Structure 1
Amino acid sequence: MLQQPTITAANSASTGTARSQASRSPVLLEIGILGLRAIEMLAVGATAWIAAAVALDLIPRGMEAAYGNAALIACLFYAALAEVTGCYDIDTRFSVRTGWTRVLTAWLSTGMFLMTLGFLLKVSEDFSRGWALAWFSFGAVALLGTRAAGTLWMRRLKQRGVFNHRVAIFGAGSQGDRLAKYIIGNEKLTIDLVGFFDDRLPERLPEREVHLPLYGNLTDLITRIRLGEVDQVIVALPWSAEKRLQEVVAELAITPVRIRLAPDLATFAFSQRPVVLLGDLPVMTLFERPISGFDQIVKRIEDVVVTSVGLVFVLPLFAIVALAIKLDSPGPVFFRQDREGFNNQRFRIWKFRSMRADRCEADGITQARKDDDRITRVGRFLRRTSIDELPQLFNVLTGEMSLVGPRPHAPSTKAGDRVFSDVVSHYAARHKVKPGMTGWAQVHGWRGETDTEEKLLKRLEHDLYYIENWSVLLDLYILARTVITLAFQKTAY
């Protein structure tokens, strides 16, 4: 679909029209990529023998075939992994950094495969470890060098326009103008824009930002195709004009060029979103549910395991805290309050009571402030050390919360004089995952009273970053950093 490698970089129309047809060889790009595949495979095999010459005085008698087979298996497996990891995809062809990342991923995976295979076949002891380490090192250097040289070569040819396809846009309205602007501004594409074609008279067309020539109507476009001046046509007509689209495509379908349909105007607002197939129908994924599928299972296992282990250690502390609360002031040990959680669903959060029983607020909540007279003596210590939050481990076990995530706020909590959801229109986006006992915002100092709108915006910014970048390692990092943060925090009252 839109991810096919036929449209691959961009240049301005004025530059494209100046190039002669003889200097263009778009197929050379595919030939170059094919050659790069072959050279990288050869590099894997060649470095195996170079490593043998360096690390071994002599290959043991009878082992020549075994070493040769290992090199052959590595060549084939690397070639397969390079395809799987996207070493030759569009975004790697002109980017050394992206290419190196994927090449190293494929080579590391190849090394792991060979070690696993040797272990399972019980032949790993037959091979020299010095040879294996030398081969792995030389192979990495050879692959990185080959990729850098190949990428620089393709970049130079790209700058000369050798790979460029001549593309005409049918439709000189707003949709075609926006498409041309996107192509010209995208350095990854190898396109020379020929110009616009449209059946409407020039005076009926809207003003365009991109100054490309308007050459004529559909008949003129077909004439230029017949003369060999156009390699590809992108139809940029509104999708709502279904009948006209079908007529234009039917006329162009008899010509020997590639025909593509440009995104509708609304689609440009989501140009970075992936296109997938729903059966045979292409659809655009606007937003994924974060931490879903297998990730959701992994995070739940993480919560249950870590929480269960943690409760074993903190239950004696619970008894001490409960006794201290009872001796300090009359009232219950625990305090429960409504909070907004996943999907804006309300749940009852568990906390150790840190305020006087007659001053605890279930609704119309006012956030605690410095020197707040509602807080008890024991409560002040509990809040400063965040021990009052530990009963939320029960919320984690019941699945209402997670160990790490955006902190849950009461529905009526305000920033300044405005409810949180009134300050930021997309505040509810933080409820796309379960709330957490700690979070990315908390370990960066955005904890405690949210008395200004600026503080709320900062918290939301960090919460959304966490949602978009979640990983188990990030969770573990936040948990470890939380312990350090709690020891030095000054914003919890």
Structure 2
Amino acid sequence: MPVLLELSSLLLVALEVVVLLAAAAWCWWLFLDDLNAERTRSYIGTIFLALTFFATFAELTGAYDLDARFSMRIAWGRLLMAWFVTIGFVIGAAFFLKLSATFSRIWLVSWFVTGMGGLVVARGISTLLLRSARSRGVFNQRVAIFGGSEQGWRIARHILGSKRVTIDLVGIYDDRSVSRLPPPQGEVPLRGGVGQLVEDIRKGEIEQVIIALPWQEERRIKQIVTELSMTPVRIRLAPDLVAYMFSQRAMVLLDSVPLMTLFERPISGTDQILKRAEDLILGAIILIFAAPIMLVTAIAIKFDSPGPVFFKQPREGFNNRSFLIWKFRSMRTDTLEFDKVNQATRDDPRITRVGRFIRATSIDELPQLLNVMKGDMSIVGPRPHAPTTKAGGREFKDVVSTYAARHRVKPGITGWAQASGWRGETDTEDKLVRRLEHDLHYIENWSVPFDLYILAKTAFAAVSSRAY
């Protein structure tokens, strides 16, 4: 029943507040045994203020939304963020109210740690219980679809094929004769017209109706809605057929008109400022530590072969704008390519002795820190390729029609594809496709922690995989 699904949210809030209260009490018993009445009141007030703040902030972050109730990964991320912020709030409040000397630091730290562990365990167990209840149909709502054309069957197939929806599909209703409708698909019955639908609603067999009619049939939709609006059910309008191409996209309101967001501008607004700050701070730190390595590399290149230390080549960057990428020269001067670029291969005769080492260790990429400081690149992002680079004998843009989508953000010195092992030569089209999949995943899911994870993982990937 839907009411049980709503009740589960309230029970989760109560459970997790009790867990945190129990953790606070346990830490009190361990570390606070000499409190006077005034300090006792201060601790009790602080605990209940923190629990109220946590419950409110966790609700705001979506820790009790439907997706979080059935996903440990989503729930843990939102809950722990709320708990971190709560402890930060307590510390900040104590500091500004000049009460920090009153509270035991060991008690606060122990409450933070045990509370975090308690939240993880409690939500993990509750999620397993909720999943089990959902699989038994405890939360299911009885739903009917009005519209027996392809649009109606499309939404029916989606409901039947999804493990996440809490719906029992009663049947499909349509005023047209059976001969004018597609044949029934699966076990979903055709139940009759709008009259039969209203009758079944009056019997209490249906709690929600999804109208699945082509949106251009405005008059018919309005007529059906008018008749169903006299009954105590939730009425929803299914998307038109074209909307199924973008079924994962979010809806927004423009004044009172619903619009579907097909693509967001990635890493924009405050995220753009945060990303640039990350690049400048990390770029400066890495540049300081890499300076001795870069100096030794420059000297080795000069002694190993004639020619310049650095190599600059046009690459496609943000919004398909061209820029000059900096690298340590790793090939003989007479074999350098600036226009029609052929990727390096295993035992490539163009590569110098020093070049072979710095390419294998990715030291040749360090001068791109200058590109980062200039603003042409980021520390983390899709790797920039030369416009004429090929995979399987075809240029990248000809292999994958959406290849240019990786230029929606600045290119990076390393990226999710490289950290996942997709670095080096793209001698097959499949390797390019896999790289692109990782790049697009990064663009859609960017965050500062994701960047830091990629940087950490890059160190291991550089050792375990080899570029030529």
Give the deviation of 1:355 after TM superposition.
4.4
CA contact 1:177–1:210 (8 Å) conserved in 2: no
Deviations 1:267-311 (A, max 9, x none): 233322222323322222233333333232222223333444555
Aligned to 1:214: 190
Give the paired residue count: 468
Distance in 2, Cα, partners of 1:201 & 1:136: 65
CA contact 1:170–1:198 (8 Å) conserved in 2: yes
SS in 2 for 1:126: coil
Q: 1:276 aligns with which of 247, 252, 269?
A: 252
Give the deviation of 1:205 after TM superposition.
0.3
Q: 2:223 aligns with which of 247, 251, 260?
A: 247
Matched, 1:167 2:148: no
Q: 1:299 aligns with which of 264, 268, 275?
A: 275
CA contact 2:359–2:467 (8 Å) conserved in 1: no
Distance in 1, Cα, partners of 2:221 & 2:231: 16
Q: Which amino acid aligns with 1:412?
A: T
Q: Which moved more, 1:461-470 or 1:374-383?
A: 374-383
Aligned to 2:265: 289
Distance in 2, Cα, partners of 1:326 & 1:44: 63
Q: 1:85 aligns with which of 45, 54, 61?
A: 61
Report which structure shows greater RCO (CA 8 Å, sep ≥6).
Answer: 1
Aligned to 1:238: 214
Aligned to 2:234: 258
Distance in 2, Cα, partners of 1:315 & 1:39: 53
Give the deviation of 1:175 after TM superposition.
1.4
Q: What are the residue-to-residue correspondences of 1:21-36 with 2, within 5 Å? A: 26-36=2-12
Distance in 2, Cα, partners of 1:198 & 1:305: 62
Aligned to 2:173: 197
Give the deviation of 1:200 after TM superposition.
0.7
Aligned to 2:390: 414
SS in 1 for 2:324: strand
Q: 1:404 aligns with which of 369, 380, 405?
A: 380
Deviations 1:204-226 (A, max 9, x none): 10123232222211122223333
SS in 1 for 2:386: coil
SS in 2 for 1:63: helix
Give the deviation of 1:202 after TM superposition.
0.7
SS in 2 for 1:289: coil
Q: Which amino acid aligns with 1:406?
A: P
Q: Which amino acid aligns with 1:263?
A: P
Aligned to 1:62: 38
Deviations 1:19-68 (A, max 9, x none): xxxxxx54344345435434544554465445544544453233332232
Q: Which moved more, 1:255-264 or 1:392-401?
A: 392-401
Distance in 2, Cα, partners of 1:106 & 1:66: 23
C-alpha RMSD of matched pairs (Å): 3.7
Matched, 1:228 2:204: yes
Residue segments in structure 2 that go unaligned for 5+ positions in a row: none
Q: Cα 1:211–1:487, aligned 2, differ >3 Å: closer, same or farther?
A: closer
CA contact 1:311–1:393 (8 Å) conserved in 2: yes
Matched, 1:437 2:418: no
Aligned to 1:115: 91
Deviations 1:187-239 (A, max 9, x none): 44333322111011011101232322222111222233334332221111111
Give the deviation of 1:95 after TM superposition.
5.1
Q: 2:401 aligns with which of 416, 419, 425?
A: 425
Deviations 1:357-400 (A, max 9, x none): 45433322233345545455665566556555444333333322
Give the deviation of 1:444 after TM superposition.
5.0
Q: Cα 1:53–1:409, aligned 2, differ >3 Å: closer, same or farther?
A: closer
Matched, 1:176 2:152: yes
Residue segments in structure 1 that go unaligned for 5+ positions in a row: 1-24
Distance in 2, Cα, partners of 1:490 & 1:140: 40
Q: Percent identity?
A: 56
Q: Cα 1:369–1:91, aligned 2, differ >3 Å: closer, same or farther?
A: closer
Q: Which moved more, 1:190-199 or 1:134-143?
A: 134-143
Deviations 1:411-437 (A, max 9, x none): 222224222222233322332222223
Q: Cα 1:379–1:58, aligned 2, differ >3 Å: closer, same or farther?
A: closer
CA contact 1:196–1:213 (8 Å) conserved in 2: yes
Q: Which moved more, 1:233-242 or 1:483-492?
A: 483-492
Q: Which amino acid aligns with 1:336?
A: K
Q: Which amino acid aligns with 2:59?
A: E
Q: Cα 1:359–1:53, aligned 2, differ >3 Å: closer, same or farther?
A: closer
Distance in 1, Cα, partners of 2:422 & 2:443: 16
CA contact 1:33–1:88 (8 Å) conserved in 2: yes
Distance in 2, Cα, partners of 1:414 & 1:207: 48
